[in-house]
Chain A
Amino acid sequence: MTETSSNAAAGTLVTPRRRRRSSARRLETLIPYGLVLPVVVVIGVILGYPLYWLFKLSTEKYGLFELIRHAGTSVGLDNYRSVLHDQVFWHTLLRTVVFTAVNVGLTIGIGMLVALLLVRLSTWVRILLTSGLVLVWSMPVVVAVQVWYWMTNYENGVVNYVLSHLGIGDFYEHDWYATTFSQLSMVTMLIVWGALPFVVITLYAGLAQVPRDLLEAAEVDGARPWRAFRDITLPILKPILLILTSLSIIWDFGVFTQPYLLIGQSKITPGNYLMSIYLFEEGYFKSDYGRGAAISVLMLLIVAALSVVYVRRMMRIGDEVA
């Protein structure tokens, strides 16, 4: 559009001018490329080059010695063979899949309930609760981990005190980090707590699109709340739920900081590995970069497969041009 109007302003049709204009036109078509070029170059260098190295490393024996020498020795697909024959890899993968399913299910499920609750609250309670959610949302992950660690501490953690005094049981000096299940449950609580604000506020914004009169009509017709939710609210929220679910799957599958810091490095064992931690311990911590790279490639492939839904959705949104 702008091109035509600027040409119209130039206005004449003399031949030499036209030639100049057509070369100006060609320049115009180059503008967007010029604009994205810096980003593409920077990303190409700082991400493309390491990604090339990732694949290269995954086919090499590359440890501390090679790191100092800056050169590895090729071993073909040995690293992949070693990882795929490792029981720990398969157990970790299964554990991570279950962990992700539980975390995403809880986040989206509870998030939906809280968003529906928000609609029913009086204005002042709603403002109070959303402010609280935004405050939680703003907490840095590492800070949140430290606070949860302190609250669930076995000696004088406030969680043990509260549970004991509510008459739920005797939690005096109860160690929440004694078993793998308990450890991962603590991590799940931390993750769901941290993820809820984003999910609730997004879903609440989506609920505003649900036509009120339609819900009221359903109520007048005697439809149960569940049916009204399923047949009216849910279809409208579906696209938002789809985005939130796929984002949560991607994030929770690759989660590192929360489990690594909350369980604590000294208590991390192959028995409670999640995918990112497995990769960190086997590759970086043991300085076996070649094998670590093979694990990374496998992990990236899994996440790429998980991202298909999300990326396609975003592509459609990104198609818009003003």
Chain B
Amino acid sequence: MNKRARQGAWNAVGIALFVVMVFPVFWMISTAFKSNEQIISLTPTWFPLHPTLTHFRDAMNKPFFWEDVKNSLIVVVATVAISIVLAFLAAVALARYRFSARKLFIVLVIGIQMLPQAGLIIPLYVVLAKYHQVNQLRGLIITYMTFVLPFCVWTLRGFLLGIPKDLEEAAMVDGSTRLGVFVKILLPLMGPGLVATSVFAFITTWNEYIFARVLMNDQSKQTVTVWLSYFVGSNRHTDWGALMAASTLTAIPVVVFFLLVQRRIAFGLTQGAVRG
């Protein structure tokens, strides 16, 4: 086989793989725009040539959709905002100082990320019930911080290591205070890292399922992923079009954000854990 033909063969395999991997995403979007006859038909319609928006309207009109979107936003924004501030401080300590409890702290940060979430639902549920925080967004926010905090610490530490220390030292020699260095040098340079880490924390929190499922029994207090998971169960004949429209709606913010920061965060992934 000559070189050209071999290259063509590899490319063909690559394209076939692309089709297989992307097909579920394509099928979701395609179904969301099809008419019900096309969806139910035994012969699938590959492309919706006469797209309809009915399913999106149906999905948005389902009970609790807007409430649960709002809940997700509140929980995600609060969790990420608090976590990123606290984590940044700790990340500075890890990236810039040697101190005797360092090892212990690293074990804590790494170890927590390895805990299986299911293993924590029972004590979290019981403790939150004890303090009447079940079905409260507050309870969910503090629960999410358990895994968002360590993730942010570890990822921000990676970004901080990428900033040369000479800059800070030069400023110190020039008579800047520690706080001055922090505000004038470290913070602006860390901008992209802070954004990327926040966005990634946003995504993991938005996608979280099991804690929200366990800690929020009240349908008006749920997050959008739990709302989506209850979509099928209600009646025997699933409204596939609306389900796929709802899935598309749930995925859009995540996909957009992910595509924006994926490149920046990729190196952090090999260094630390991100729930996949």
For the complex, is B207 an interface residue (Cβ under 8 Å from A)?
yes
Q: Does A1 contact B229, Cβ atoms closer than 8 Å? A: no
Segment among A13-21, A38-46, A180-188, A224-232 that sits at the interface with chain B: A38-46
For the complex, is B40 an interface residue (Cβ under 8 Å from A)?
yes
For the complex, is B194 an interface residue (Cβ under 8 Å from A)?
no
With contacts A36-B89, A148-B24 known, is A292 near B14, CB below 8 A? no
Q: Does B43 contact A161, Cβ atoms closer than 8 Å? A: yes
B118 CB to closest chain A CB (Å) equals: 4
For the complex, is A109 an interface residue (Cβ under 8 Å from B)?
no
Within 8 A of A (CB), among B41-70: 41-44
Which of A33, A121, A198 is close to B276, meaning CB atoms less than 8 Å apart?
Answer: A198
Query: How far does the alpha carbon of A169 sit from the alpha carbon of B104 in the complex, in Å?
Result: 57
With contacts A140-B254, A284-B125 known, is A50 near B120, CB below 8 A? yes
Query: How far does the alpha carbon of A261 sit from the alpha carbon of B209 in the complex, in Å?
Result: 10
For B87, list chain A residues within 8 Å (CB).
39
Q: Does B40 contact A39, Cβ atoms closer than 8 Å? A: no
Q: Does B207 contact A141, Cβ atoms closer than 8 Å? A: yes
Q: Does A315 contact B110, Cβ atoms closer than 8 Å? A: yes
B267 CB to closest chain A CB (Å) equals: 8
A310 CB to closest chain B CB (Å) equals: 7
Beta-carbon nearest neighbor of B11 in chain A: A125
Q: Does B7 contact A122, Cβ atoms closer than 8 Å? A: yes
Q: Does B276 contact A195, Cβ atoms closer than 8 Å? A: yes
Query: How far does the alpha carbon of A142 sit from the alpha carbon of B251 in the complex, in Å?
Result: 9
Q: Does B231 contact A146, Cβ atoms closer than 8 Å? A: yes
For the complex, is B107 an interface residue (Cβ under 8 Å from A)?
yes
Q: Does B270 contact A136, Cβ atoms closer than 8 Å? A: no
Q: Does A114 contact B17, Cβ atoms closer than 8 Å? A: yes
With contacts A140-B206, A315-B107 known, is A254 near B22, CB below 8 A? no
For the complex, is A166 an interface residue (Cβ under 8 Å from B)?
no
Which of A39, A57, A70, A318 is close to B123, meaning CB atoms less than 8 Å apart?
Answer: A57
With contacts A129-B18, A276-B116, A284-B122 known, is A38 near B90, CB below 8 A? yes
Query: How far does the alpha carbon of A33 sit from the alpha carbon of B89 in the complex, in Å?
Result: 10
Q: Does B127 contact A39, Cβ atoms closer than 8 Å? A: no
Query: How far does the alpha carbon of A297 sit from the alpha carbon of B229 in the complex, in Å?
Result: 28
Query: How far does the alpha carbon of A6 sit from the alpha carbon of B207 in the complex, in Å?
Result: 46
Beta-carbon nearest neighbor of B271 in chain A: A317
For the complex, is B135 an interface residue (Cβ under 8 Å from A)?
no
Most buried by A among B89, B92, B243: B89
For B251, list chain A residues within 8 Å (CB).
138-140, 143
Within 8 A of A (CB), among B178-195: 178
Q: 0/1 per residue, A244-268, Cβ < 8 Å to B?
A: 0001001101101100010011000
Q: Does B10 contact A120, Cβ atoms closer than 8 Å? A: yes
Within 8 A of A (CB), among B109-155: 109-112, 114-127, 129-130, 142-143, 145-146, 149-150, 153
Query: How far does the alpha carbon of A303 sit from the alpha carbon of B110 in the complex, in Å?
Result: 13
For the complex, is B81 an interface residue (Cβ under 8 Å from A)?
no
Q: Does B96 contact A322, Cβ atoms closer than 8 Å? A: yes
With contacts A57-B122, A142-B207 known, is A196 near B269, CB below 8 A? no
Sample of 17 A–B contacts (CB below 8 Å): A31-B93, A40-B108, A117-B17, A122-B11, A139-B251, A141-B209, A143-B228, A148-B24, A149-B232, A151-B27, A156-B41, A194-B276, A195-B276, A202-B269, A276-B210, A318-B110, A321-B98
Q: Which residues of A contact B (CB under 8 A)?
A: 1-2, 5-6, 9, 29, 31-33, 35-36, 38-40, 42-43, 46-47, 49-51, 53-54, 57, 62, 67, 70, 114, 117-118, 120-122, 125-126, 128-129, 132-151, 153, 156, 158, 161, 193-198, 201-202, 205, 240, 243, 247, 250-251, 253-254, 256-257, 261, 264-265, 275-277, 279-280, 283-284, 289, 292-293, 296, 299-300, 303-304, 307, 310-311, 314-315, 317-318, 320-322
Please give me the 5 A-B residue pairs with the lowest Cβ-Cβ distance, nearest first. A254-B116, A276-B118, A138-B258, A35-B93, A32-B97
Can you add 19 more A-B contacts, CB < 8 Å, to A33-B99, A43-B149, A140-B206? A5-B172, A32-B99, A35-B93, A43-B108, A57-B122, A70-B130, A117-B10, A138-B203, A140-B225, A144-B24, A146-B229, A150-B238, A205-B270, A279-B122, A283-B121, A296-B119, A318-B109, A321-B94, A322-B161
Q: Which residues of B contact A (CB under 8 A)?
A: 7, 10-11, 13-15, 17-18, 21-22, 24-25, 27-28, 31, 39-44, 86-87, 89-90, 92-99, 101-103, 105-112, 114-127, 129-130, 142-143, 145-146, 149-150, 153, 157, 160-161, 163-165, 168-169, 172-173, 175, 178, 203, 206-207, 209-210, 214, 225, 228-229, 231-233, 238, 240, 243-244, 246-247, 250-251, 254-255, 258-259, 262, 266, 269-273, 275-276
